[in-house]
Amino acid sequence: MPVGGDRYDPRPMSDIKRVGVVGSGLMGSGIAEVCARAGLDVVVREVDAGAAEAGQKRLTTSLDRGVRSGKLTDEARDEAIGHVVFTTDLGELADRQLVVEAVVEEETAKVDVFRALDEIVTDPEAILASNTSSIPIMKLGIATSRPEQVIGIHFFNPVPVLRLVELVTSLLTSPDTIAAADGFATGVLGKKVIRSQDRAGFVVNALLIPYILSAIRMMESGFATADDIDIGMVEGCNHPMGPLHLADLIGLDTTQAVAVSLYDEFKEPLYAPPPMLSRMVEAGLLGRKSGRGFFDYASR
């Protein structure tokens, strides 16, 4: 049987029309938005009504921002909203051709979702994808009876703005699944795809997370202030934002979780989360999404 690393024919287009998204936090709501804007029928599953409402609000706010900036018409916004249904019932994903899991970065939570999706999703050709930043796709694949149809489709935050998608294949992902996922991301969503083997962090986070952790250590040791570290990288290297603002944007809990996965995989000290990051996560200082992280967002 061909394995994930083998050659495949990327299909420019895709026949995927019915998409499911599990989780509507920062990423899930963005993934739902880009799918809805591409005219797809989207069902989003959250854990409870409050979380579903928050996800719906995040999606509407982002579409409104698109209208204000002139990228979307009022009609296109309303049409996109009309393509998305929020639910707390995972059973409503039964008829989906592609499901993208975007729940918290915890292996047990994701494995439970994949096990449940495998039971629920009826289409024998359906693709079960994860937006995980660092958890091996193999661990999610083997939780199902169809590991050849399990793949990482790793979007970047904010999903409607950043073009990159990393396609992450396990040793068991089939060439057909890779081709279909590539066709979907490029042909339907207009994303730029790069491929990564199934290693913690994939390409981008394996490079980015140690950089962010170095900035946190630099601040923690009193070497420089948070402001000066970020200004240094913005003004000196022309980065659009500094590493500490970026950590706040990603979410400090997600940053920590990715660092832990990288450290577990490679045992390199540069991936170990610094104590300051762990204390901030314990304190609920999660960055933008909680109103405070390395910087304060509550008053903005």
Ligand X SMILES: NC(=O)c1ccc[n+]([C@@H]2O[C@H](COP(=O)([O-])OP(=O)(O)OC[C@H]3O[C@@H](n4cnc5c(N)ncnc54)[C@H](O)[C@@H]3O)[C@@H](O)[C@H]2O)c1
45 binds ligand X per the rule CB under 6 A: yes
| Under rule CB under 6 A, residue 203 binds ligand X | no
Q: Give me the DSSP letters along 19-36.
A: EEEE--SHHHHHHHHHHH
290 contributes a contact to ligand X by CB under 6 A: no
DSSP state of 3: -
- d(C-alpha 131, C-alpha 27), whole Å: 8
What is the C-alpha to C-alpha distance for residues 273 and 234, in angstroms, rounded to an integer?
Answer: 23
Residue span binding ligand X (CB under 6 A) among the ranges 2-10, 65-73, 128-136, 273-281: 128-136
* CA pair distance 212, 223, nearest whole angstrom: 15
Contact segment (CB under 6 A) with ligand X among 121-129, 131-139, 189-197, 220-228 equals 131-139
Check binding of 133 to ligand X (CB under 6 A). yes
Q: Where are the beta strands (DSSP E) in the chain?
A: 18-22, 41-45, 84-87, 98-101, 127-130, 150-155, 164-169, 192-197
How far is Cα 76 from Cα 36, in angstroms, rounded to an integer?
10
| Residue from 60, 87, 157, 214 binding ligand X (CB under 6 A) | 157
Q: Give dist(CA 54, CA 50) in Å, integer.
A: 6
Total residue length of the chain? 300
One residue of 103, 128, 213, 277 binding ligand X per CB under 6 A: 103
Quick check: 293 binds ligand X (CB under 6 A)? Answer: no
Nearest to 38 by CA among 212, 207, 185: 185
Q: How many other C-beta atoms can be found within 10 angstroms of the C-beta atom of residue 19? A: 28
Answer yes or no whether residue 25 interacts with ligand X by CB under 6 A: yes
105 contributes a contact to ligand X by CB under 6 A: yes
Nearest-approach distance from CB 9 to ligand X, in angstroms: 27
CB of 26 or CB of 126, closer to ligand X? 26
Measured CA to CA, the distance from residue 85 to residue 191 in angstroms comes to 23
- Compare residues 201 and 274 and give the one whose CB is closer to ligand X: 201
Rounded Cα gap, residues 95 and 7, in angstroms: 29
Size of the site for ligand X (CB under 6 A): 28
Give the active site residues.
133, 154, 166, 205
Least distance in angstroms from the C-beta of 21 to ligand X:
9
For position 254 contacting ligand X by CB under 6 A, the verdict is yes
CB of 72 to ligand X, least distance (A): 22
Residue 28 touches ligand X, criterion: CB under 6 A: yes
Residue nearest to ligand X (CB): 25
Residue from the set 33, 46, 118, 182 that interacts with ligand X by CB under 6 A: 46
Instruction: Using CB under 6 A, pick the residue from 16, 19, 26, 72 that binds ligand X.
Output: 26
Q: Does 261 bind ligand X (CB under 6 A)?
A: no
